A and B are shown apart, each in its own frame.
Chain A
Amino acid sequence: MAEERRFRSASGAPIALRRRQHSASCRELAVRGPRLQLRSLSAATSAVWLAAYGLFALSENSMVLSAAIFITLIGLIIYLHFVKIDQESLLVIGSLGIQVTSSYASGKESTTFIEMGQVKDVVINEAIHMQKVIYYLCILLQDPEDPQGVSEVVPLFQSSKPRLDCLIEVYKSCQEILEQTNTAPQSS
């Protein structure tokens, strides 16, 4: 079963959270950011081309114009493939692990898998980031030999920074599965 709700990111852009329950101990939470807008694309393209035309008018060198076209095309490809993240998803499988995938606008997907033995907890932390204090969801990893300490912090949903209401939904979903994982070894 899947449900989708609309939220806002930390900078005000509209994002959507989709929650799917695959089984009793497996959930997928995906945050989808806004697509590349036509108006920002045309604004950037016309700015670059106007600047190139201004240079051409000053220097009478026609290579400037073709260079501007190349720069625009290559810049767009690099942006879509390396920078623009369309969807970030979190797949929590109880007793197995957590998988984090980011899919870019060009179709590229990068995944990270963290096994359940390393996961201490999934918490909402608040920290200073670029002159703002933001809430962000993170996975606390633990050392195998030091169960009390936190060895590493993995922040999630870095590019589509959701606000606290969206994070609370994701947090509650994750905690339901993590509780099952923590109480199951004692009951079996």
Chain B
Amino acid sequence: VLYLIWAYIPETWLFSLGLTYWPQKYWAVALPVYLLVAVGIGYILLFGINMMSTAPLSSTHTITDTYAKKQQQKKFQEEAIPALRDIPISEVNRMFFLPEK
């Protein structure tokens, strides 16, 4: 509300009230423009940050990570569902692509 009052009432009236130390009226238009441009650039910036933090094709992060390296193997029990673990990529590939149809 204060912002609207300041933007619309001409300077001479405010001076007559004794309130002289306000920012120039230029800012009444400049600040919203700055905000909208910042929001627009924020879209592009977020897109760029996403692309930059995607692991490149040649990094080991596409294959494993620190949790998978430190996992412990549970012993195999008969008639029980096998414990959940991260299967190495070589095994997954063999299972998917090697069997003949």
A residues sitting closer than 8 Å to B (CB atoms) are 120-121, 123-125, 127-130, 136, 138, 140, 149-155, 158, 168, 171-172, 175
Q: Could you list some 12 contacts between A and B, CB below 8 A?
A: A120-B90, A121-B89, A124-B93, A125-B63, A129-B57, A140-B63, A150-B63, A152-B58, A153-B62, A168-B97, A171-B97, A172-B98
Which applies to chain A's interface (DSSP): helix, strand, loop or mixed? Answer: strand
- How many interface residues does B have (CB within 8 Å)? 17
- A149 to B63, Cβ gap below 8 A? no
Closest Cβ of chain B to A175, distance in Å, is 6
Q: Are A125 and B90 in contact (CB under 8 A)?
A: no
| Alpha-carbon distance A128/B93, docked complex (angstroms) | 18
Given the interface contacts A140-B63, A149-B69, A150-B64, does A158 sit within 8 Å of B57 by beta carbon?
yes
A140-B63, A172-B98, A175-B98 known; A127-B90 Cβ under 8 A: no
CB distance from A30 to the nearest CB of B (A): 20
Cross-interface CB contact of A125 among B54, B69, B89, B94, cutoff 8 Å? B89
On chain A, the residues within 8 Å of B51 by CB distance are: 130
Complex alpha-carbon distance, A172 and B93, angstroms: 10
B28-47 vs A, Cβ < 8 Å mask (1 yes, 0 no): 00000000000000000000
Nearest chain A residue, comparing its CB with the CB of B96: A124
B72 to chain A minimum Cβ distance, whole angstroms, is 14
Q: What 1/0 mask marks residues of chain B from 41 to 77 whose CB sits below 8 Å from any chain A CB?
A: 0000000000100110111101110000100000000
